Amino acid sequence: MIERRTPKTRDNWRSPYYIIEFAQEILEKIDLDPCASPAIKHHFATTNWTGYPDNGLNLQWYGNAFINPPYGSQIKHWINKSIEEHESPSPPNQILLLPCRPGSKWFDKITKAGKTFAVPDHRLHFDAEGPAPFPSMLILLTKAPRLDRRRLIFSFILNAKRQNWSLYRRT
């Protein structure tokens, strides 16, 4: 008998291809996806792809990273790792795809670190099962040099507006 994972028991939500394309357009290329499953590897044009069974929490992140972590109780570990990498001496540029949960402690932490985030105006379709039972958000974390940082933020905002997503900038 096949066990069907319900939204309440399911932690892994495969990134929609148009979200990956959104991230690639902003970052120009994705060097690392520390959370990807082997099933999606062939859809990434990354130079260094890392996914399960490797544990992305134990890696040093680098370059341009796309992160769509497991959404269950372990999400806080991925958020902490993302912030730790963001505060490192050589921080990667990161785009995270996360559930939009403003009441959670990790939401406050990641939006303070990233400051610029977008919320799609619709529920994302992660796979053939239909729309997700929760809202999603994309957040940009970058400490690139000033001109590159401005280009990344502008590109993020421009692409989000093109999609008619709501934009937020935390001060």
pLDDT, tens digit, for every residue of 68-96?
998 888 899 999 999 999 999 999 999 99
Please list the helix, strand and coil fractions of the chain in percent, rounded to the nearest 5, in that order. Answer: 35, 20, 45
Q: Say if CB 38 and CB 52 are below 8 A apart.
A: yes
Q: Smallest Cα–Cα separation from 94: which of 108, 84, 102?
A: 84
pLDDT tens digit string along 98-141? 999 999 999 999 999 998 899 998 898 887 667 888 899 999 99
**Cα gap 2→18, rounded to integer Å:** 29
Q: Which fold has domain 17-169?
A: Rossmann fold (3.40.50)
**Cα gap 35→100, rounded to integer Å:** 18
pTM, entire model: 0.85
Give residue limits of the domains in the chain: 17-169
Per-residue confidence (pLDDT) for residue 38, from 0 to 100: 61
